[in-house]
Structure 1
């Protein structure tokens, strides 16, 4: 079989190679390569550029959206305390979405050419090269697309005048998530909760990758029984 004989050439663009791994893909992608420089994904320079994002682009782009949402809520007649409650609810909602996506989408088992390719672009690249600093946060172009179903989800859960406030809180939760994720890989926290979260997340990468799906919080791992065993790894990024 082709999938049994295929070997990925790390010196060539990877995206359209990994699908050929077939059933071997999951084993391959969860054997991390720890190096400062990430691989090239696309031969096309524009597509390659879109896969690389500086961490500071996330707050720079999305915090103004958060501010607009919260300002709109106030203009609709809500008090600051009401908006604060919406923000808290939005952040909590985001942590649940974060957990569900990480567990059930980012870690879905794939084996066909196109599902392997899609998984690699979505999350596999991060597990294969966990210290690639330009692929630790979600590219804004992709995030814009995902905002539409996320907005519609929140519309289903809220009233007309509270949608903006809850969405703003959820987007603030997203910014916290992506910045925290970057810090857990490239920062050196000396005290909790940062120190605990870093150890927790590196456990997920280097020791037991089907547990510990929370990034900004371990709460949902407690709720859904996906806490990793108590032994932790000493590896660092």
Structure 2
């Protein structure tokens, strides 16, 4: 008997998207309404910083946890072996991890007023990542951004390749040297 099942139905995947979208909406509606344009801009900046923070979390988790630390590496290898299956953390566990590892530390360091909008950005980034990752394996690419994400992620899934860890952005792969150029492939001919 396993405590955590990584295999999910398609319905569970869509429910995960819905839960995170509702959570983002709920967090947004719980924020104190800004009284001035400057306060509104401050909330927007915090949410954008949270989005950028998510992109770094996504990259670091994928590269160093899912491809480097057991048992996560073993679990993630299941995804590489069966990329068309619906594999991932259950929603309850991902929510618990976000709360314990992201929200509570942000709140302790910055206070609730800043942690809320930052967390909205982090969760929005996670939702974008989740949908882009799902789409890259299960949906036809529609639009240039998704086409690029799908090609980039396909390069990551090539057998024996340790590169292209970003799903929602290529920024950290390029900034930290885990993109194609480092492996000697032509950036212009292959880069999404």
Q: TM-score by structure 2 length?
A: 0.81
**Residue of structure 1 aligned with 2:48, choices 63, 84, 88:** 88
Aligned to 2:25: 67
**Residue of structure 2 aligned with 1:142, choices 74, 93, 96:** 93
CA, structure 1 residues 219+146, in 2 after alignment: closer, same or farther (shift >3 Å)? same
Aligned to 1:128: 81
Q: Is residue 217 of structure 1 aligned with residue 173 of structure 2? A: no
Q: Is residue 196 of structure 1 aligned with residue 156 of structure 2? A: no
* Structure with greater helix share of residues: 2
CA distance in 1, matches of 2:35, 2:7: 40
8 A Cα contact 1:138 1:178, kept in partner:
no
Aligned to 1:226: 178
Question: In the TM superposition, what is the alpha-carbon distance from 1:192 to its structure 2 partner?
Answer: 1.4
1:35-84, Cα deviation, whole Å (9 max, x unpaired): xxxxxxxx66x854x63153311221112221222223235868433322
Q: TM-score by structure 1 length?
A: 0.67
**Residue of structure 2 aligned with 1:119, choices 51, 69, 73:** 73
- Structure 1: any 5+ residue segments left out of the alignment? 1-42, 110-114
1:111-168, Cα deviation, whole Å (9 max, x unpaired): xxxx3x55323x1211111111x21x43202202212111133235534411111111
- Structure 2: any 5+ residue segments left out of the alignment? none
Aligned length: 180
8 A Cα contact 2:66 2:73, kept in partner:
yes
Question: In the TM superposition, what is the alpha-carbon distance from 1:190 to its structure 2 partner?
Answer: 4.7
Question: In the TM superposition, what is the alpha-carbon distance from 1:191 to its structure 2 partner?
Answer: 3.8
CA, structure 1 residues 149+199, in 2 after alignment: closer, same or farther (shift >3 Å)? same
**Bigger-Rg structure (1/2):** 1
**Counterpart secondary structure, 2:116:** helix
